[in-house]
Amino acid sequence: MKTVADVLDALDSLTGGRVIKSPGDVTKGDHPFVMMKTSNLPGKGIMETPGLIYGDLKKKVKKLAITMTMTEGSIELAGATAVDAIIAHHPIAEAANSGGVALKNYLDLYDLTAFELHEAFHGLHPGIPYLHGHNVYRTEICYGGIHGNILFIGQAVEGVETLGDMLTRLNTFMGASIEKELMHMERELRDASSMVETSMMTRGRIVCGDENTLVNNILHIFPHTGFSSDHLRQAVDENPEIDTVLVSISRVFDGHSLIETAKELGLNFIIGNSHVLEILENGLPLAYALEMLLPDVQIVVFQERITSTPLRQMGTPKIKEYGEEMATRYLANKRAAVRS
């Protein structure tokens, strides 16, 4: 039977030695994938420590869950389905990823082990560009000296000739028609006609060009990583064959400087998958790799789904009554009393 140590070794193997194997890797300060992430908001910075976050190396692992961001929801699901360990792509922090309580308390309660990867997993496979329709010939994971500022440059794959082809390809891989049907059924079942869901509201779209605009060499970037207009100009100087800018994971909206710079440079501009679909883009390759490296371990994938529902359409009649009563009797009136 496999152990937590075996899972750690598998992660170290598939990342090419990027995970930390001992506490000393954190404290000595020269591990390239141990890094601080901070916006300098007091108390909100976090250190990424790819590898084992919490757990006993000798513990047996029969069932392993892959998730993007560990939440109290995933911890509860793991506890209810006999999961022994969770591997989160995104970094794990006290309280933020454990329902507002101490991480150790929640994980101990359900005898769970926790791992994280994030930057240590980036750049290991060309799957995200492939899904978007191009084969990569240049990869950067620290563009402009910024950790996590990922850049791909690729050539359109066979069968992808236009911007429209790129969107069609994405919708097919991501099962957009299934998500649309699911949303329709849920609206009817819940009697919530205005309910929406993330993947449906963040579908890919063309910003500069149209469905028939030809594509060949694609610059693929991720705006939330810090990729700027200056970076865009620099990348085009370095690779003048670029004709299309593709952004994915995070979005940009009309008027954003990246769009305006692309227009200035005469480039096509297209928006691909949103962050909510990364569980398929990065989660599935990781899950399949672990299944190959740990054949005795059952692998499951946790996919979170977020919906938005107008207040008066949310919940059953009884729970609506409950919410309004609690607000009226204990919250809104109390607030009014404090103001007076």
Average pLDDT over residues 48-63: 96
Residue 219: name the closest of 124, 143, 274, 277 by CA.
Answer: 143
Q: What percent of the chain has pLDDT over 90?
A: 93
- Tokens at residue 123, please? 């750049």
pLDDT value at 338 more than 80: no
Pick the more confident residue, 29 or 66: 66
pLDDT of residue 337: 53
The tens digit of pLDDT for each residue in 188-227 reads 999 999 999 999 999 999 999 999 999 999 999 999 999 9
pLDDT of residue 30: 82
Average pLDDT over residues 225-252: 97
pLDDT band with cut points at 50, 70 and 90 for residue 24:
confident
The CATH fold of domain 127-275: 3.40.1390
pLDDT of residue 339: 54
Residue 282: name the closest of 298, 301, 297, 296 by CA.
Answer: 301
d(CA 339, CA 132): 54
Under 8 Å between Cβ of 297 and 314: no
User: How high is the mean pLDDT of the chain?
Assistant: 95
Say which range, 28-32, 118-122, 223-227, 272-276, has the weakest mean pLDDT: 28-32
Helix, strand, coil abundance in the chain, percent, nearest 5: 40, 20, 40
pLDDT of residue 127: 96
DSSP 25: H
Under 8 Å between Cβ of 73 and 304: yes
pLDDT of residue 27: 74
Q: Give CATH 3.40.1390.30 domain extents, the chain.
A: 4-121, 127-275
d(CA 148, CA 37): 10
Architecture of domain 4-121: 3-Layer(aba) Sandwich (3.40)
